[in-house]
Amino acid sequence: MTDTTVTSRPILGEAPPPELPAPSGGVHFRGIMRRYGGTGRPALDVADLHLPHRSFTVIVGPSGCGKSTALRVITGLETPDEGRLTINGVDVTATPPGARGVSMVFQDFALYPHLTVEQNIAFSLRLEAKHNRGRLGLLRRGAGGAGPSRGEISRRVTEACVLLGLADLRHRRPGQLSGGERQRVGLARAIVRRPSVLLLDEPLSALDAQLRQQARAELVRLHRELGNTVVLVTHDQLEALSMGTHLVVMNGGRVAQAGTPEQVYRRPADVFVAAFVGSPAMNLHLVEVTNGGGALAAPGLSARLAGPLTLPRAWLGWRPGDGVIEAGPDRAAAAGGLAGAGLAGAGLVMEGLVDVVEFTGDVVVVHCVSGAAAAGETGEWDAGPDEVGPARWAVTVPAQAGVPDVGTPLRVRVPARRLHLFDPVSGQRVDEIDDDADDLAVADEPT
């Protein structure tokens, strides 16, 4: 993780870091705690999180993990019970929302239905001008005073309309716009104030798939053109991984991991992040550590490790896109607990039967079962949290590569550098697999 990304209190870990000088730009959470009702588990508990100046940070996490609370703390709509928030080096913890240089776009865009596009976009600037003139006692004298003048407002509104392709829609009301157009008005209204920080709370969730795709590209382009700091909250895996320069994964009010999308995807810090980030989700198997710590085993699964793993069990993870399908084993091997052939192979070998084939366009997701499930035994198929057994797993293949039939035995090999190991008790990552290294924890070649 680079200096410009983020540090945070680990989910299971030590005390927060000592006082650090605030990074000069961007948004910095320092020991921020927000507890609704003053008791119980905090909705937000962030020891040290820096969203760099001019970055595009995407925040993801399950429902209720504190994403919106984090945005509301940045806007000033929510005051933390503890800690400090700095924006571009200035402590704004006690600064009112309107004076922070922050704009927020909400999920429903919150447009005024009786105002035209142009009036909606100009609204906050007009309010600001009126407020400032009134505050300075200049209203009666009719002077322009502080705040944008009428000409300035008109210029900025025109600029925002052009930037977001709304020039021809200026005189329409929100009810006469499509969802995508409304979304652009919401954005125009936020950027017209020239915020140094732009917050987007699931702004694309109301759009259909095609509009969403266009809107994603528009947001990325807008960020490039405006050069401000953007923070976007989403539930969408594609948005999480594709849009931002930085990704923050939250869980239970805390930052589970922060880094570039690639870092988080390729080296999840714990089993929660591993399971949460990525679609289709990472395959995770609770496995026995065997052979003096040098191998992993479970029904339908075999892996050879380079260095000893000093745990009796581990969570083993691999992404569906990292598996390479080999010639299928015989049905008995797939059903019975792994095939001896796999033991001599590369990092991990999985064997099972094709259960469901999911066509998604260019890629096919092949869902497999192994162990008892593959043998057709009745009862509980999925391994519970304390049971060893890779009952179900998935591998993706290009559609043109040919799709295996349901019921076909399948053998999949996963290179060592694409394996992930986690402590079954703490959930923390325990391997040291490095994308750039040939091999660290798991042997890549047969030994």
Ligand X SMILES: Nc1ncnc2c1ncn2[C@@H]1O[C@H](COP(=O)(O)OP(=O)(O)OP(=O)(O)O)[C@@H](O)[C@H]1O
Q: CA–CA separation, 44 vs 126, rounded Å?
A: 34
Q: Residue 64 or residue 398: which is nearer to ligand X going by CB?
A: 64
Residue 140: CB minimum distance to ligand X, A: 40
C-alpha distance from residue 290 to each of 293, 311, 439 (Å) = 5, 10, 20
Q: Is-contact 169 157, C-beta < 8 A?
A: no
Q: Residue 60 or residue 334: which is nearer to ligand X going by CB?
A: 60
Q: Residue 63 or residue 447: which is nearer to ligand X going by CB?
A: 63
Q: Residue 207 or residue 296: which is nearer to ligand X going by CB?
A: 207
Q: Virtual CA dihedral for 301, 430, 277, 27, nearest 10 degrees? A: 180
Per DSSP bridges, beta strands 283-290 and 229-233 are unpaired
Residue 315: CB minimum distance to ligand X, A: 25
Q: CA–CA separation, 190 vs 278, rounded Å?
A: 30
Residue 46: CB minimum distance to ligand X, A: 12
Q: Residue 66 or residue 259: which is nearer to ligand X going by CB?
A: 66
Residue 307: CB minimum distance to ligand X, A: 38
Q: CA–CA separation, 158 vs 156, rounded Å?
A: 5
Backbone phi, then psi, for 393, in 5-degree steps?
-155, 165
Beta bridge partners of 257: 249
Q: Residue 280, SS3? A: coil
Q: CA–CA separation, 412 vs 345, rounded Å?
A: 11
Per DSSP bridges, beta strands 197-201 and 102-105 are parallel
Q: Virtual CA dihedral for 265, 2, 92, 193, nearest 10 degrees? A: -70
Q: Residue 55 or residue 251: which is nearer to ligand X going by CB?
A: 251
Residue 201: CB minimum distance to ligand X, A: 8
Residue 390: CB minimum distance to ligand X, A: 30
Tokens of 221: 């382009």
Q: Residue 22 or residue 204: which is nearer to ligand X going by CB?
A: 204
Tokens of 241: 């991984």
Q: Token pair 């000069």 is at which residue? A: 24
Per DSSP bridges, beta strands 313-318 and 283-290 are antiparallel
Q: Residue 250 or residue 394: which is nearer to ligand X going by CB?
A: 250
Tokens of 315: 């969570």
Q: CA–CA separation, 30 vs 48, rounded Å?
A: 5
- What does the binding site for ligand X look like in residue numbers (CB under 6 A)? 36, 43, 61, 63-69
Q: Residue 68 or residue 257: which is nearer to ligand X going by CB?
A: 68
Q: Residue 36 or residue 112: which is nearer to ligand X going by CB?
A: 36
Residue 80: CB minimum distance to ligand X, A: 13
Give the residue from 187, 76, 193 showing the smallest Cα distance to 132: 193
Residue 112: CB minimum distance to ligand X, A: 24
Tokens of 132: 């400032």
Residue 282: CB minimum distance to ligand X, A: 21
